[in-house]
Amino acid sequence: MLRRIINIYYDVTNDKLLDADGNQLGRSSLWSRIFFKEKPLLRIRLVDGAIGTPYTYMGIASTFTAAIDTDFDHDTDVMCKTLNSGINQDGDWETDDSSGAGDSSGAGSQADADLGEFSIQINANTSSYESKIGTKKSLNATLEITGYDGSGNRVGVIALPIACYNLLDVTGNSAVPVVSGISASAGSVSISSGVSVVTVSGLGLDETPSHVLTSISKPDSGGLILFSSVRVDSISTGGFIVDLSGQTDGTGYKLNYMLVY
């Protein structure tokens, strides 16, 4: 999908937001900003004291998460949460980085944490964002990037400021919940005629979903009303298997699913 790209430069050593030329951004009005309901792509360069000197420590981590919020109340959901599947993905980085960082061939376009680079897909269309921004124009927030080792232990955390903005016109897709900071994704597959078992495969997920929620869409008012049940032991990073309450009597049926992590 097309995303608005937000470039961020952060001097970890001196705790400063910078512009592309290395000048400090001192006023919150100059901070990078995200807007309610949008899904931008953050391209972050962590530097060690100056532009051109990457901050490399986070490269020790195997996986990452990112969160954005305005407070540290652990009893409320964060405004935005991105799991490893939305961080440093192929195609999300610049193909030609004049600084020499990244893939020098111009191919691959994947951020490299060893070079202080992070690409983070943000979903600001959440009910938690909507609740916390309320009727305010904007709020100063924190973007937190956490790195984990192969056993899931935190091995590094970076926190930097970011601004969260509201909208005047909120027409469009409804905000989705962020449940205890957990993310969700959705999809659908077509079901053939005469089928009572549907296998969803080839998803290539980074993590096994904790829950899979499903429903069946029928082709028209005369179609069968079918229910679906996921085989819990079939859920994996590759997909899952669903039993239907009966066989489809034609084409046009779809299995709709939501993966919760």
Cross-strand pairs, 119: 43
Flag whether 173 is in a domain: no
Flag whether 132 is in a domain: yes
The Cβ-side half-sphere exposure at 228, using a 13 Å CA radius, reads 24
In this structure, the chain runs to a length of 261
Among 138, 165, 192, the domain-final residue is: 165
Spatial separation of the C-alpha atoms in residues 20 and 17, rounded to whole Å: 10
Is 210 found in the same domain as 160? no
And the tokens for 213? 């929620």
Is 137 found in the same domain as 201? no
Is 211 found in the same domain as 149? no
Where do runs of H (alpha helix) occur along 33-170? 127-133
State residue 1's pLDDT score. Answer: 61
Is 140 found in the same domain as 252? no
Which positions of the chain have pLDDT values less than 70? 1, 95-108, 173-174, 176-184
4-19 pLDDT, tens digit per residue, is 999 999 999 999 999 9
Is 220 found in the same domain as 105? no
State residue 26's pLDDT score. Answer: 81
HEC string of 243-257 equals EECCCCCCCCEEEEE
State residue 188's pLDDT score. Answer: 87
Is 13 found in the same domain as 90? yes
State residue 100's pLDDT score. Answer: 38
State residue 204's pLDDT score. Answer: 80
Spatial separation of the C-alpha atoms in residues 149 and 144, rounded to whole Å: 17
And the tokens for 99? 């600084």
Is 37 found in the same domain as 118? yes
What are the backbone angles phi and psi of residue 29, rounded to the nearest 5°?
A: -65, -15
Spatial separation of the C-alpha atoms in residues 68 and 143, rounded to whole Å: 5
Contact (CB, 8 A) for 138 and 148: no
State residue 101's pLDDT score. Answer: 42
State residue 102's pLDDT score. Answer: 40
Q: What is the CA radius of gyration of the chain?
A: 21
127-159 pLDDT, tens digit per residue, is 999 999 999 999 999 999 999 998 889 999 999
Looking up residue 189, the CATH number of its domain turns out to be: 2.60.40
Of 99, 69, 70, nearest in space to 82 by CA: 69
Q: DSSP letter for 175, please.
A: P
Task: Determine the structural domain holding residue 111 and report its residue range.
Answer: 5-165
State residue 104's pLDDT score. Answer: 41
Of 214, 211, 145, nearest in space to 180 by CA: 211
